[in-house]
Structures are given as C-alpha cells and as structure tokens.
Amino acid sequence: MRWGKIVWFLVLAFALSWSIAGVFFGLGGTLNSIWAVPVLLLYMFMPMTAALIVQKGIYREPVLKPLGIRLDLRRLGWFGVGWVLPPLIALAAFGVSLLLPHIHFSPGMEGMIAQYRERLTPEQVAAAQRQLAAFPWPVLLAILLAQGMVAGATINLVAAFGEELGWRGLLVRELAPWRFWPAALAIGAVWGLWHAPIIWHGYNYPQHPRLGVLMMTAFAMLFGPLITYVRLRARSVIAAALMHGTFNGTAGLAYVFLAGGSDLTRGVLGVAGFIVMAILNLVLLFADRRLLREPMAAWLEEEERPAPPANSDDAPNQDASTES
C-alpha cells in the first residue's frame, strides 16, 4: 500500500472539488441558480481528474486495468445487481419511512415539493405541481422509476464515473492490502466528507445543512460497502458508476409520496434509508464470509486471470455461494 499515492489523490480530489465549491458559493451562487447543475457536474468529475493526474501524471502507471476500467461479459449479472439494487433500496426506505413517527403517505406529493422547494424557483415549483397532478400516483411512480433507471444507465453513469474512478477505482486498488470491511468503510467516510461544502449549503439536507455533513458521511459509509462489493464482483469500476448513477436517478422514489418528518428521518438519505442499508450490510456480512478472511488484493488478482469457463462463475448468486 502506497500512502504517498493515496495522500496525493486525496489532496488533489478535495482541493479541486472544494475550490470549485468555494468559488461558486463565494461569488453568491446558490443551489437553485441556473449555474448549480454545471457546477455540481464539474465538482463530480474532480475525483476522476485527481485519479488520472496521480496515476498517469505523477506515478506514470497504466490507467485501464489498475483502475478497473473493464467490461467482463461473464460478470454482467453483477452489473444487473448494481442497476436494480438502488431503486429497491429507495422503495424499501419509503416503506420504512412510513413506520417512523410523523411521516405519512402523500399521494399529492406535497412532501417532495417541500423537499426541493428551496432548490427550485417559484415558477419551477408551479410547473412541477401541474405536471405531477396530471398522473395518478401509481402511474407517476412507474414513470419516475423508468426515468431514473434509464438515466442511471446513461447520463448519470457518465457523471458518477467522474467520482467512481477515484473512490472505487484508485482507492480500491491502493487499499488492496486491507480487508474488505475496513477498506469499504474508510472509502465511504472519505467519500461522504468530500461532499461537505455542498451539503453545508443545503444540498440533500436543506433543513439541516450542518448536521447534514455528518448524515452524508454516515450514508456514504453504509452505502459504500454495497457499491464496493458490486465493483469487486463485477470486476469493474463501471459497475460502481452504474450503481452510483442509478442511485442518484432513483433516490427520489423514497421521497415522492411522503410528507412530514424531516430530511434527517425520511427517505433513503435519512434514518429510514440508514436502517435499510444497515440490514443489507448485515446480510452481506453473513452471506460472504470471504470478505472477513481475505484482503481485497485477492479479489483484484482474480481480475488479471484469464476468464473461467462460461458456466463456472457467471451468476451473482452462484458466485457468492461458491466463495462464502
């Protein structure tokens, strides 16, 4: 493990992203301005930029294989897991939210409007309300699910790749001597703290921006093992980008028909989502004991081996059972 390389990456990733946020907010930018989306997209690409500078510019090492940029057709089942799991988490978080105090079902989607009101202009809020009123809630849910999953596999995947090449690309490679759980949790903590400047200004937790920094870090540490596991099983950082992008595209499913509570409790980024992801982490802990026995290096070494016969290791459930 090369601590110098890790430090170089973290310093560059944080410095580049936080400088962008500092300039934007320092000049009076807000999350409901027309410049917010391009600035946030640029922010997302800074971990990739830092990873490429360190990997190729400073250390003069190859990029594709070491950082996991590959597509193994025998591992497409794990790409499917990464694509389907985020909306399932969001829907489960919706269900758990309804079990919490002061949160109730809202077919009129007042809760979602309230969630994003501070990030939208009054005209955008009015337009959203008109569009939402045009569909019964089951139809709207299906539309939002389809849109989120398509976006997750297309434009969101590209944006999420800007982050994942750093988090689940370079950091997974450099932390390979560690075992899975310490590495995945450490990467999650760094990933969560990296969001601090935009969370501080109301992103994701507009009602509690200060406490939101801690909440975002906790979320990333709970979601981090799940996305890292998919990255290792798929043997590709692209699968992590797919899962990350699909999460971004479908997380709203956990909010759209909820009202009451707060951004700390409801939905996938609140306590409800934390409960769902904690349960999934416990399932993972007991389902694949190899994660406790071996360093991540053992998984990454398998990426370099010739592909096995097609019927030996091509399904997620079969793969997990043979190595647990």
**How does pLDDT run across 150-196, given as a tens digit for each residue?**
999 999 999 999 999 999 999 999 999 999 999 999 999 999 999 99
- The pLDDT tens digits of the residues spanning 59-96 come to 999 999 999 999 989 999 999 999 999 999 999 999 99
The pTM of the whole model exceeds 0.75: yes
How far, in Å, are 102, 126, 275, 278 from residue 223 at the CA level?
26, 34, 11, 9
What is the pLDDT, as a whole number, of residue 266? 94
Listing DSSP states for 76-108 in one string gives HHHHHHHHHHHHHHHHHHHHHHTTSTTEEE-TT
Short-list 78, 145, 82, 137, CA closest to 106: 137
* 229 vs 232: CA distance, rounded Å: 5
Instruction: Say if residues 235 and 319 touch (Cβ distance below 8 Å).
Output: no
What is the pLDDT, as a whole number, of residue 123? 74
Q: What value does the mean pLDDT of the chain take? A: 90
Cβ neighbours of residue 152 under 8 Å, at least 6 residues apart? 83, 86, 242, 245, 246, 247, 248, 249, 250
What is the pLDDT, as a whole number, of residue 117? 62
